[in-house]
């Protein structure tokens, strides 16, 4: 459950309380679309998370859910199409053309804008990745419609408008945003904010194939190369099953070693809250929260983190949240499942040792038998 649904007593009143009719030219905009992001041969997992969310919206609206796949002709696109159906799409729009081999704004924005103008969806969802944000911003500008970034909850109100909730004021509050008089209603969602839906093998259904109305010569920007990240060195926080993080309560940069030690002992990824990145104690790719990574681990241990809203929205999807903080009134105890009021600097080594004892080879043998 995300934060907003606990605060909202279900459906918002119609048209966000604004009595205004949708302009005629938008009345035939129907169905929910999800843009599937192809990332060097694979579909970015956020696209599946969005298909799960799009399915719910489409069912509420009693309309269809369509996937949109843009890429080079060939296997990569066909695989993505099959995945779109497996994750709940009723139909898939394809634009496959050689200029779509690598992501560039011009051909992708052109392809998506043309598709929208031809088939007129009422809702269009994209992942809030570097690609999705680059693309969504220009498509929404060309279409002159509303785009709500980094939503943490999507819902449909009683007359069918998209209610998009996102953090605001630097993540200290939440707000619900509507695009009342324009279509499509566009929104982006960060990876891991929505749960991963169940994959169900299904035959490939209805596919609509379109041509790209651009050729390579029309495109100003050329891709000279791509340097893949060193995966082992990069934090894979978003998809980690166990995460340990430290906050300002650790007092000094060197105490982050205590967090790393615990993480190593239990095979977890380590991270931190925003202030530590601002202080330069940890690199930005380790930041957990609204402007950093959203995580959904099975276990999350937060040490010396007070639990500001922008942190809360980034961790609320965790199955089990354990908070360690000296301040019994810290907001983190309002959304953690288990709390310990104690000094993390002293407690972390004890916890690391206790875990090591519990998980020692001897105990492992016991488990295996």
Partner 1 sequence: MNDAGNEVNRQARIRTGSLEKSPMHIVICIKQVPDSAQIRVHPVTNTIMRQGVPTIINPYDLFALEEALKLRDVHGGEVTVLTMGPPMAEDSLRKALGYGADRAVLLTDRYFAGSDTLATSFALSQAIAKIGETFGRPDIVFTGKQTIDGDTAQVGPGIAKRLDLSQLTYVAKIASIDLKTREIEVARRAEGGTQLLKSRLPCLITMLEDTNEIRRGSLQQALCAARSQVVKWTAADAGIDDLTRCGLRGSPTVVKRVFAPTARAESAAQIDTAEKGLQDIADELIADILTRRPALEHELAFNSGT
Q: Which of residues 91-150 bind partner 1 (CB under 8 A)?
A: 102-106, 109, 129-131, 133-134, 136-138, 140-142, 144-150
What contacts 152, CB < 8 A, 6 or more positions away?
A: 2, 3, 4, 165, 166, 167, 174, 189, 193, 313
Pair 284, 264: CB distance under 8 Å:
no
257 binds partner 1 (CB under 8 A): no
For residue 59, the minimal CB distance to partner 1 (Å) is 23
For residue 143, the minimal CB distance to partner 1 (Å) is 10
Given the complex with partner 1, which of 215 and 341 has the nearer CB atom? 341
Rg of the chain over CA atoms, in angstroms? 22
159 binds partner 1 (CB under 8 A): no
35 binds partner 1 (CB under 8 A): no
Given the complex with partner 1, which of 73 and 275 has the nearer CB atom? 275
For residue 91, the minimal CB distance to partner 1 (Å) is 26
17 binds partner 1 (CB under 8 A): yes
Given the complex with partner 1, which of 3 and 64 has the nearer CB atom? 3
> What is the rounded end-to-end Cα distance, in angstroms, of the chain?
37
Task: Give dist(CA 97, CA 119) in Å, integer.
Answer: 19
158 binds partner 1 (CB under 8 A): no
Give the dihedral of Cα atoms 110, 114, 115, 120; nearest 10 deg: 130
Q: Which of 309, 315, 344, 345 binds partner 1 (CB under 8 A)?
A: 309
Given the complex with partner 1, which of 196 and 347 has the nearer CB atom? 347
Pairing of strands 123-127, 42-43: unpaired
CA distances from 150 to 130, 143, 171, 294, 352 (A): 12, 20, 11, 11, 35
39 beta partners: 42
333 binds partner 1 (CB under 8 A): yes
- Stretch binding partner 1 (CB under 8 A), from 23-31, 117-125, 163-171, 202-210: 163-171
- Stretch binding partner 1 (CB under 8 A), from 48-56, 83-91, 244-252, 351-359: 351-359
167 beta partners: 174
225 binds partner 1 (CB under 8 A): yes
Pull the structure tokens for residue 346.
């002293």
243 beta partners: 269, 300
356 binds partner 1 (CB under 8 A): yes
- Stretch binding partner 1 (CB under 8 A), from 48-56, 71-79, 170-178, 246-254: 170-178
26 binds partner 1 (CB under 8 A): no
For residue 257, the minimal CB distance to partner 1 (Å) is 17
Task: Give dist(CA 34, CA 325) in Å, integer.
Answer: 40
User: Which of 121, 272, 296, 48 is CA-nearest to residue 193?
Assistant: 296
Given the complex with partner 1, which of 47 and 55 has the nearer CB atom? 47
């Amino acid at each position: 459950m995300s934060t907003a649904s606990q605060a909202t007593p279900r459906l918002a009143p119609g048209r966000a309380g604004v009595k205004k009719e949708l302009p005629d030219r938008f009345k035939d905009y129907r169905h929910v679309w999800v843009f599937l992001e192809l990332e060097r041969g694979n579909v970015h997992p956020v696209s599946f998370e969005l298909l799960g969310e799009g399915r719910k919206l489409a069912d509420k609206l009693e309309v269809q859910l369509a996937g949109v796949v843009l890429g080079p002709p060939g296997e990569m696109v066909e695989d993505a199409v099959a995945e779109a159906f497996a994750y709940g799409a009723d139909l898939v729009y394809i634009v496959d053309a050689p200029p779509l081999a690598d992501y560039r704004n011009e051909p992708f924005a052109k392809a998506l804008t043309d598709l929208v103008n031809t088939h007129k969806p009422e809702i269009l969802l994209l992942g809030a990745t570097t690609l999705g944000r680059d693309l969504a911003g220009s498509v929404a500008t060309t279409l002159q419609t509303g785009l709500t970034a980094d939503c943490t909850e999507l819902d449909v109100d009683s007359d069918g408008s998209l209610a998009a909730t996102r953090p605001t004021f630097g993540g200290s509050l939440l707000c619900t945003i509507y695009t009342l008089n324009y279509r499509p209603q566009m929104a982006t969602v960060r990876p891991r904010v929505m749960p991963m839906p169940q994959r169900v093998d299904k035959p490939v259904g209805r596919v609509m194939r379109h041509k790209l109305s651009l050729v390579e010569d029309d495109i100003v920007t050329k891709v000279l190369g791509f340097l893949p990240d060193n995966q082992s060195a990069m934090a894979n926080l978003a998809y980690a099953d166990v995460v340990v993080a430290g906050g300002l309560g650790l007092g000094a940069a060197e105490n982050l070693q205590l967090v790393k030690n615990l993480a190593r002992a239990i095979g977890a990824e380590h991270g931190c809250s925003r202030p530590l990145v601002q202080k330069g104690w940890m690199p930005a790719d380790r930041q957990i929260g609204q402007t950093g990574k959203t995580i959904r681990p099975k276990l999350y241990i937060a040490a010396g983190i007070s639990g500001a809203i922008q942190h809360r929205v980034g961790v609320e999807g965790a199955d089990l949240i354990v908070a360690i903080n000296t301040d019994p009134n810290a907001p983190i105890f309002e959304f953690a499942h288990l709390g310990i009021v104690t000094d993390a600097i002293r407690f972390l080594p004890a916890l690391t040792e206790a875990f090591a004892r519990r998980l020692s080879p001897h105990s492992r043998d016991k488990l295996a038998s």
